[in-house]
A and B are shown apart, each in its own frame.
Chain A
């Protein structure tokens, strides 16, 4: 009998032990694609937040507790992302969510955040309508595609010395919103639009689309693609004998893209929220640590991860509690100085005030050739 009691006591204490330690950490949930079509970029994000959380914990964490990341794979799939977010909130009791990658997945996860009243920050999803829904628990710490277009569209014709612009983008919220919003800004700078073409997330070759764009005889091609498709696109564009400048939103200034695309990456312009060649002490320190630990230069997804994690932790610190409602209120008062300058949120929880960059790949290095500031919408 006594032995049985002892065994029970041990069993109970073992069962309770993880709960006790769980309460001593501040749990932040991450929903990112670690498999599927954008797994490569998603993994960069995940590795970055892991590295940064280790740093923050070494400096004492937040609210005197250690930060604990709980990471789930959303696979850029709305249904899987919703399941992941539900699990993080209901089972892991996270106090805030970071994610998701693809705009369609983020739109789905936003509803979970609202239902359970947990704040969600995205640093990557740029489809304009996300912040138009007035979801009080959703924050976006990145410029939308129309905002980026408004900032850079008017200068593109001059910067690229081009008049006729052709669009060739991914056929999703992101690419569609790019083709809806950029033309006006480009036209205000003296350019004209000569082609509007799309490709699918699953496409591996783009020969038909490229041939069609080529037939429109453009001076520059505006693209939207993540790493894998960016590599194939820029190679195939050159292979079909098109030599005009390329300018793109997406992976166009990342190390992995430049390495994989090789010579095809030379002379490609990127419209980016972050590029590792930004000259500022905070960025230089980040790049140095990133190179040492993750053996490459940080991409814009790493930059996004840096922004959202620090904004979330900053808000938890200012809220002084792990109550998600108070964290949400603290997030609204964000005034964060990070890699890309100052970030504040407007009434719709859209970030503004940060710097955006036009990069140009030269000898494998994406130099900043132009900057602009995101105006308050």
Chain B
């Protein structure tokens, strides 16, 4: 009996760890969608870039791990700002189909640029944490996993507070609800767009940099990350922050428990099956956008 509980606890812990990461990535995606009305298919590439830049800062330039993580995020954000200024600002009034196609093109461009720059070799970011696993009553984890969970959870809270409590967050939510009215009351839409895109990219890059310690990153990683993020965002409701957080945790737990107690070949099917159900019976997602 106690062995069954230990295994259940292990599955739950695995689910929360992965779920936090899904939530963090999906928050960025849902923010870009909500504010800019862009379905960003290049979102996973920001995750991949975050991982690669952190890897290069730590292992080649010998930077301290804890300094490299924020610096990697800053570098990816700088790139995101350039992209937003040079591409997405010009497409503000373009139909969604156009911006979607542009993001798909951008994802291919970024993936292949990474392939050319860094080659196809998968890389793990060296971390200062001891690799010896920790055991709590037979449930295993490592300091790195705990660190990942703490950082992703903290960033989720920070993101939530930023959107709920600050002036900028208020302006974002206003833009969200009605762009024209927001502009009329003096909100600088251009700036809000730039913030949203940079912030969304920052969350994805942070996830890439933190998870890169135990999930090797390679140029093609972005594709599956984008896919998972869309699953979460559709589950939680396009443009809903709470939805992204809850959806991310739900998907992480569903995958962990589903794979744990059903044939593991079905692991990915669980998330996508949930998406089909949500689209059929509750197309606005579990949470409506706010």
Contacts and interface: CB of A to CB of B under 8 A. Distances in A.
A202 B224 contact: yes
B14 interface: yes
Interface residues of B, number: 44
Contact of A207 (B7, B131, B216, B256): B256
B245 to A, nearest CB: 20
Contacts of B215: 204-205, 232
B131 A208 contact: no
B17 A35 contact: no
Interface secondary structure of A, over-half rule: helix
Contacts of A227: 122
Contact of B214 (A198, A209, A235, A263): A235
B124 interface: yes
Interface stretch (B29-37, B153-161, B260-268): B260-268
A131 interface: no
B18 interface: yes
A335 to B, nearest CB: 36
Contacts of A40: 119-122, 218
Most B CB within 10 A of own CB, among A40, A207, A214, A232: A207
Interface string A194-227: 0001111011110111011011000000000001
Nearest to A208: B259
Contacts of A236: 214
Contacts of B144: 239
Interface string A163-187: 0000000010000000000000000
Contacts of B260: 208, 211-212
Interface string B246-290: 000000000111111001110110000000000000000000000
A83 interface: no
Contacts of B214: 205, 232, 235-236, 239
A18 interface: no
Nearest to B13: A207
A159 B112 CA distance: 44
A231 interface: yes
B2 interface: no
B65 interface: no
Contacts of B264: 171, 197-199, 208-209, 212
Nearest to B142: A239
B14 A211 contact: yes
A299 interface: no
Contacts of B124: 231, 235, 260
B112 A203 contact: no
A22 B67 CA distance: 55
Contacts of A281: none
Contact of B140 (A35, A209, A241, A256): A241
A202 B256 contact: no
A256 B218 CA distance: 14
Contacts of A134: none
Interface of A: 34-37, 39-40, 42-43, 171, 197-200, 202-205, 207-209, 211-212, 214-215, 227-228, 231-232, 235-236, 238-241, 256, 260, 263-264
- The 9 A-B pairs at the shortest CB distance, nearest first, are namely A39-B120, A208-B259, A241-B140, A207-B14, A228-B122, A40-B120, A198-B265, A202-B224, A197-B264
8 contacts: A35-B112, A35-B220, A39-B218, A40-B119, A198-B264, A203-B268, A208-B255, A212-B264
